[in-house]
Amino acid sequence: MRKVPVWALQPGMKTGRAVYDDKGMMLLNTQVIIKSKYIQNLKMLGVSSIYVEDKIIPDVSIEDVILDETRLKAQTMVRDILENIEKQPQKALPRVLFAKSSCSDTVDSIVDQLLRNKNLVINLSDIRTSDGYTFSHSVNVAVLAVTAGISLKYSRYKLKELALGALLHDLGKVRIPKVILNKKSRLTPEEYAEIKKHPRLGYETVRTQDFIHSASCMTVHQHHERINGKGYPEGLKDGQIHPFARIAAVVDVYDALVADRPYRKAMPPHKALEILESGGDEYDMDVLYNFMQHVAAYPIGNIVGLSSGEVGVVVHNTVGFPWRPKVRVLAFKEGTEIVKPYEVDLMEKIDVVVDRLYEDSEMEKIMVLQ
């Protein structure tokens, strides 16, 4: 199974995972033969990519770290809360009637499922429609934040507080004009000033809910603060920033980088990790290190080139070794020689590294060789 951009889909391919819209309605079930009209409908709905079955690695599946049911339930909860706020008068402080039981059940499911995962590596990227970005992003940030929290040895109680704050971190954006949020060109200074209001607007909302702990509220308020003091809304530094917000800062940026946005295409995970590493004075390096232990730089299904001259598809990643996947070799970079597939584990071949990620168009050529 591998992730394929919608533009690269061909009739006759078979879905590897179900595809849902932003309201949780199933667009395509798993194991469905793709038709031309399905491709057109996916494009119309703003779906950028889906997972398909792959003849090269039919024996390898890519599992989400939480259940589809849990992800959809969480997205629905976030959407309902945002829509509730949106309906209220713009100038009034939103009085959101959070369903305490729904919030608690949702974070319980996320935390428990992640704690049960014995090889907690993020290989799967969530499929989002353009309209459902905010809901999907909120859930992803919660999942990634809890993953980092587990690596940091947080208690289950702290993980739940972290998950709730991360789920609600972007509530304030519902008060920002959509024309600014979805703008494809560079923001003006005035528009950026509007964007920078959203952490405080979100905080003013969640702090009115007496069952939401102050630590969760701080996650909402401070997730754009930076260790070097160059963040917003308060320009806090280092120890002034709550530990949960330090986690949210890292995972919020990571998930935004690996998603398609109105103003740019999604980055591959290894590029997103490189960008985070290069911003060392912005982020808590302990948080960043622990988070990276659980993110595959080259997720399962990626076709990569190795410094040894081999070309293959990633079939496994291990916690703690984000840059050292196991690769099923298919061919060599020079020429078109096809080899009988064999596996190279870069955790054992320490003198070999991934030195290239093949683009989707190049993947098709390699697949034809097989």
Same domain flag for 229 and 131: yes
pLDDT in tens, 324-337: 999 999 888 876 56
Last residue of a domain, one of 52, 77, 92: 52
Top-confidence range, 100-114, 177-191, 238-252: 238-252
Residue 370 confidence (pLDDT) above 60: no
Tell me what the mean pLDDT of segment 26-41 comes to: 92
Same domain flag for 311 and 287: no
Same domain flag for 234 and 278: yes
Same domain flag for 96 and 25: no
126 lies in a domain? Answer: yes
189 lies in a domain? Answer: yes
Tell me what the mean pLDDT of segment 191-209 comes to: 93
Same domain flag for 175 and 319: no
Q: What is the mean pLDDT of the chain?
A: 89
Residue 91 confidence (pLDDT) above 80: no
62 lies in a domain? Answer: no
Q: Which CATH number fits the domain that encloses residue 14?
A: 3.90.105
190 lies in a domain? Answer: yes
Give the model's pLDDT for residue 46.
81
Q: Which CATH number fits the domain that encloses residue 244?
A: 1.10.3210.10
Give the model's pLDDT for residue 7.
85
Residue 294 confidence (pLDDT) above 90: yes
Give the model's pLDDT for residue 90.
67
Last residue of a domain, one of 266, 292, 318: 292
Q: How many domains does the chain have?
A: 3
Same domain flag for 221 and 280: yes
20 lies in a domain? Answer: yes
Same domain flag for 222 and 327: no
298 lies in a domain? Answer: no
Same domain flag for 198 and 144: yes
57 lies in a domain? Answer: no
3-state SS record for the chain: CEEEEHHHCCCCCEECCCEECCCCCEEECCCCECCHHHHHHHHHCCCCEEEECCCCCCCCCCCCCCCHHHHHHHHHHHHHHHHHHHCCCCCCCCCCCCCHHHHHHHHHHHHHHHHHCCCCCECCCCCCCCCCHHHHHHHHHHHHHHHHHHHCCCCHHHHHHHHHHHHCCCHHHHHCCHHHHCCCCCCCHHHHHHHCCHHHHHHHHHCCCCCCCHHHHHHHHHCCCCCCCCCCCCCCCHHHCCHHHHHHHHHHHHHHHCCCECCECCCCHHHHHHHHHHCCCCCCHHHHHHHHCCECCCCCCCEEEECCCEEEEEEECCCCCCCCCEEEEEEECCCCCEEEEEEEECCCCCCCCEEEECCHHHHHHHHHHC
Same domain flag for 42 and 178: no
Same domain flag for 328 and 183: no
Same domain flag for 186 and 312: no
Whole domain around residue 10: which residue ranges? Answer: 2-52
Nearest to 222 by CA among 206, 268, 210: 206
pLDDT in tens, 131-179: 567 888 999 999 999 999 999 999 999 999 999 999 999 999 998 998 9
Residues of the chain with pLDDT > 70, as a percent, come to: 91
Same domain flag for 131 and 14: no
